[in-house]
Structure 1
């Protein structure tokens, strides 16, 4: 479904990604691991079109999307849950969810039942402003907003960062459920190895803008994985 092929990305003279290749398939979770500043978020920005790549190609469902705008990629079924959540604090929960309608045809502009079954708290807080929610509730709202878009590729940028353990478990269950449907490819950027090992079907470690270790879960060498993360 998603094929990132040897991409480079620059911020001015600084190179953030160096020949990065990555695949994501429906019904599987690809986890991208690594320390802060190694290029994980830059990779997601490249996939979603928030920053143009300087070399390589990104294909989605067999189509080269490397030069498409962020809006066009969203219309193709690519959604991101950004680091820091980026909800609209003055909009209600319901209004925040409805911002996910933007790339959808008019007939599809409704909130899927899965959003409220995965995160029941959102249904009880529809009229509360997003800024009044706790950090964990805001994270659930950000994921719910992405699911409103009915994505075929879901990108999650450190969804457990600063979140209480009970909601981390809720997020983990939601990701597992979405994977089980077999229709969505998921790319999960994480720093917490335990969370990634529990959910990931494929594990990728980045350092200094490059992939330094990659394996399927079934073939994982835990020692090699931890050494790569310690680089």
Structure 2
């Protein structure tokens, strides 16, 4: 289980996260909602170690990982699908997937068939350069690259951004299917409420770096959340 408590993160004098707490457990999807600039990506960077927190504590599977570097967190089963995808445009699809194998032990550096079962288009295009794929296909590649590490915690930073509706539905089915296996905790960052509402088991809503609403999705007040997302 992931438990992040009272995280405070700064960029110079700018206070990006203010006492933010979040939890995620295997088999469940925790959604982080908020408009642009509310701290969603900063939270993801804190969780994977890309930016150190000023204060607070992050534990994963009972271990305090607050001070660990990103590569050490990756070796402990934490994977990030970054906003903007960040694939390598000059590498082939297969080569992009191979870059995700770095955190695995030498004897486990292989791409499982399950990856292509989840995203059949990637098998069809495995010899195409990443830069030749559509935006939706690149997003599927970015998710698949994270999954080759066999993560137990998957963080997705706005996977629907700039994606056509048909692929958004496919991505939603994959995310829910991964959660239903019961072995992976998922944190999904979104600003599109309808997509998040369909998937979320729990949620937090950020505004100006603070959690303003949190709870189980079953108790979600749609009008209240929409008000924060549209103001």
What range describes the TM-score normalised by the shorter chain of this pair? over 0.9
Q: Is the 8 A contact 1:8 1:19 kept in 2?
A: yes
**Partner Cα separation in structure 1 for residue 221 and residue 52 of structure 2:** 34
What corresponds to 2:186 in structure 1? 186
**Structure 1 residue 230 displacement after superposition:** 3.8
**Partner Cα separation in structure 2 for residue 19 and residue 114 of structure 1:** 38
**Structure 1 residue 27 displacement after superposition:** 0.3
Q: Secondary structure at the match of 2:159?
A: coil
What corresponds to 1:154 in structure 2? 154
Q: Secondary structure at the match of 2:35?
A: coil
Q: Which deviations, in whole Å up to 9, do the C-alpha atoms of 1:119-171 show, x marking residues without a partner?
A: 10000111111111111100000000000000000000000000001100110
What corresponds to 2:7 in structure 1? 7
TM-score (norm 1): 0.98
How many pairs does the alignment contain?
Answer: 231
**Structure 1 residue 189 displacement after superposition:** 0.3
What corresponds to 1:63 in structure 2? 63
TM-score (norm 2): 0.98
**Partner Cα separation in structure 1 for residue 167 and residue 11 of structure 2:** 34
Q: Is the 8 A contact 1:140 1:171 kept in 2?
A: yes
What corresponds to 2:89 in structure 1? 89
**Partner Cα separation in structure 1 for residue 113 and residue 201 of structure 2:** 26
Runs of 4+ in 1 over 4 A off after TM superposition: none
Q: Which deviations, in whole Å up to 9, do the C-alpha atoms of 1:87-136 show, x marking residues without a partner?
A: 01111100000011100011211112221111100001111111111111
What corresponds to 2:124 in structure 1? 124
What corresponds to 2:209 in structure 1? 209
**Structure 1 residue 229 displacement after superposition:** 2.8
The within-5 A match list for 1:212-231 is 212-231=212-231
Q: Secondary structure at the match of 2:100?
A: helix
Q: Is the 8 A contact 2:191 2:229 kept in 1?
A: no
